[in-house]
Amino acid sequence: MDFERDDIVVREIDRLNRLKVSSRAAFFSEILCLTFPDKYPVLNKPVWSYLVDIKFRAPKGSSEGAAYIDLAKKLRLSLEKNKSHPARNLAELDTVIWLKYH
């Protein structure tokens, strides 16, 4: 089920990209994070700063949607493997990142 939703998210982000909807990343990712806090991160300025700091790179040639899902999967796995981290889901991780990078 998650992989089907992830596929839909990829297609929608890429569709919005083709339509040149400039707010697509921040707005769409925020709605996804609010609706599915365990599954999708927010893409805002503090998160972009964090990604630069950790030298995050999506697989070469990834579409914008595929890069977002790659990030979501890596953050999900990171939280799953780091049970002692104060964030219990990606929405809480956004708050932790926001506090450090805002």
Q: What is the pLDDT of residue 26?
A: 86
Kindly give the confidence (pLDDT) of every residue in the chain, 102 residues in length, as a single tens digit, with 9 standing for 90 and above.
778 999 999 999 999 999 999 887 889 999 999 999 999 999 989 998 999 999 999 999 999 999 999 999 999 999 999 999 999 999 999 999 999 998
Q: Which helix (H) or strand (E) holds 97?
A: helix 90-101
Q: Which residue has the tokens 């977002």?
A: 68
Q: What is the pLDDT of residue 93?
A: 95
- Burial class of residue 36, CB neighbours in 10 A (0-12, 13-18, 19+): middle
Q: How many residues does the chain have?
A: 102
* Biggest alpha carbon–alpha carbon distance for the chain: 41
Q: What is the pLDDT of residue 60?
A: 96
Q: What is the pLDDT of residue 25?
A: 81
